[in-house]
Structures are given as C-alpha cells and as structure tokens.
Amino acid sequence: MTMLDNVRQTMRRDQVWPFLIEKQPPNIDVSHNVILYVEGLSVSFDGFQALNDLNLYVNDGELRCLIGANGAGKTTLMDVITGKTQADSGDVYFGQTIDLLGKDEAEIAQLGIGRKFQKPTVFEAQSVFSNLELAMKANRGILPTLLAQLSAAQFDRIDEVLETIGLKEQRLMLAGALSHGQKQWLEIGMLLIADPRLLLIDEPVAGMTAQETERTAELLTSLAGEHTVVVVEHDMEFVRSIAKTVTVLHQGSVLAEGSMQEIQNDPAVIEVYLGESD
Ligand SMILES: Nc1ncnc2c1ncn2[C@@H]1O[C@H](COP(=O)(O)OP(=O)(O)OP(=O)(O)O)[C@@H](O)[C@H]1O
Ligand SMILES: [Mg+2]
C-alpha cells in the first residue's frame, strides 16, 4: 500500500476507528440509590488486619466523610475500591451490578471512579489550563493526545471545570506557582474533567490555610449531588462543616455511622477516637 492509500484508508467515512471514539462511561445501576457497596471486606498485610469485615454503603450523590485514627484503614479502603490493593475476602460493588474486585486500576478509573491522593501531583512546569488539557487527553487514550486539537466542546468543558475549582483567573499561570490549596483544587479539577460518578478524596485540606479549607468545603459540597464524593479527613472542623453522614473507622471496621451530632455523642467513638483528639 502506498502512503496515499494509507491516508485514504484512514479517512474512509464508513470506518470508525476505535481510538477516535469518545469513551462512554458505562451505565451504573443505582436503582436502589446505592452507588457503592462494600461488604465483609478484609485485607491483611503480613498478618496485620488492616481491614476487618468492613461494611459500607454509600448512596448515589452523597457526600460522605470517613474519619478514624491513624492506621484505622481509611486509605487502605480507598486502595481496595480503586484496585490498588487486593482484598482477602468480601465484596465491592459499583452500583447493583459491577463487581470491582478483580478489576485493575485503569479499568476502575474508566468506570468513572476518580481517586485523589493526599499529595498534589500536578505538572508543575505546565500551565493550569495545560494540566486540565492533559487530563482530558489522557482520559481519551494515547493516540488522540498526539493527533487531536481540542474541540470547542472540550474547551468549554475545561472552562467549566476552571470555574468550578475557582481557578479561572489562574488559567495561564504555571501550576508550580500556585499555592498548595490551589494545587489541590487543580488536581480535583483534573479528576472532574473525566466527569466521574464517584470521587474518593484522601485528606484534601491537610496543609491548607483556613480560608483554603473553607473554600474546599464549598467546592466538595457543590460537587455532591451530581457526583458521589467520599472524603477522608482528620480536620474535624472541616468534617463538621460538610458532612451529612460520617463513618468512623476503627481497626479496620466501622465503629459508628451517623450525623456528626450522633457520632460525637456515641460513647464508643468518644472512647476510641474523639476523646483522644478533641
Ligand atoms: N502496603 C502495606 N503494607 C503493610 N502495611 C500496610 C500497607 N498499607 C497499609 N498498611 C498498614 O495498614 C494499616 C492501615 O493503614 P491505612 O493507611 O489504611 O490507615 P489510615 O486510616 O489511612 O491512616 P492515616 O490516617 O494515618 O492516613 C496501618 O497500620 C498501615 O501501617
Ligand atoms: Mg491514610
């Protein structure tokens, strides 16, 4: 085949190339209003039981806070949900039908589950806009990154995300020049580009100023509803300001669950957790 034939072949209107197809997230069956089921989940590391028969149910569109002392298993739980750590036993379902255990990290991300680690990992030498552009292209696979210009719709989507994370004015700034809080928001924005159904966010306000913390509370509150958000945080003031339902983990299991008011008055919680830190 000559080069020209190759080009003709590629341009054929009747052929749809897989790398040019926008990836569509699958339909998640939330007919029971629950988007995440964790049942009887156990994980051990060299005999140490990090998660111990843990049960957790998160409703679609909910903003759920997970609290618990250091080592309670909060990050490990996120690691299992996102395919980073293997479970020993138990079930994790995304909606009614999608079994997450046994899927790898890339497959789980593709299903619409976004994960934010504690430390911001933005591309410091790129502008805020470029970071979001890269996130968008990464979401669509490798080949379009090299070939495609952003479509008008994709530009609009980036603008929309810039607005949501409050970095419109910083769009041309290098990410490395942002404050710590702004970097965290940018990274949340990079997750939002893919429009995930479920966002798992580990200790977002650690190291933030009081003002940044307040702004983050507003941001996460605004994301709930359209997205389901699970936040791990030690900052109780922050948790108090955003949480409707709080789940307390202790030694790899759920110790208590309820409104902030309820768990604050729960004797077991007071004894093992709040009593120590408040
Ligand atoms: N990969 C691993 N190998 C061995 N032990 C691990 C591993 N990951 C976690 N652990 C252990 O499992 C326990 C739970 O850790 P995890 O990181 O889930 O706690 P956490 O609730 O997130 O705590 P923190 O609030 O300090 O972040 C800890 O005792 C930790 O040392
Ligand atoms: Mg942790």
Which residue's CA is the closest to the ligand 1 atom numbered 31?
A: 71
Whether pLDDT at 200 is above 80: yes
pLDDT at residue 243, rounded to an integer: 79
Check if the beta carbon of residue 81 is closer than 8 Å to that of residue 58: no
Residue 7 is predicted with a pLDDT of 60
Residues within a 6 A CB radius of ligand 1 = 45, 50, 68, 70-76
For residue 14, CA distances in Å to 8, 9, 21, 143, 261 come to 12, 10, 14, 20, 61
Using CA atoms, how far apart are residues 103 and 84, in angstroms rounded to an integer?
A: 10
Q: Give the integer Cα–Cα distance in Å for 166 and 175.
A: 14
**From CA 54, how far away is CA 194, in angstroms rounded?**
29
Picking from 257, 205, 234, the residue whose alpha carbon sits closest to that of residue 71 is 234
Greatest C-alpha distance within the chain: 78
Residues 6+ apart with CB under 8 A from 130: 123
Mean pLDDT across the chain, nearest whole number? 89
Most confidently predicted of 21-25, 149-153, 237-241 = 237-241
| Ligand nearest to C-alpha 44 | 1
User: 53 — phi, psi (to 5°)?
Assistant: 55, 50
Please compute the mean of the pLDDT values over residues 127-147 and round it to a whole number: 77
Question: Among all ligands shown, which has an atom nearest to the Cα of 79?
Answer: 1
Neighbours of ion ligand 2 (CB under 5 A): 74-75
Distance of CA 117 from the midpoint of ligand 2 (Å): 9
pTM for this prediction = 0.89
How far is the centre of ligand 2, averaged over its atoms, from the C-alpha of 68 (Å)? 9
Mean pLDDT of 12-32: 66
Q: What is the mean pLDDT of residues 31-41?
A: 96
pLDDT in tens, 110-120: 999 999 988 77
Quote the pLDDT of residue 278.
44
Task: Give the pLDDT confidence score for residue 141 in this predicted structure.
Answer: 60
Judged against a pLDDT cut of 80, whether residue 9 lies above it is answered with no
Q: Which residue did the predictor score with more confidence, 194 or 37?
A: 37
In the 8-state DSSP scheme, what is residue 227?
A: B
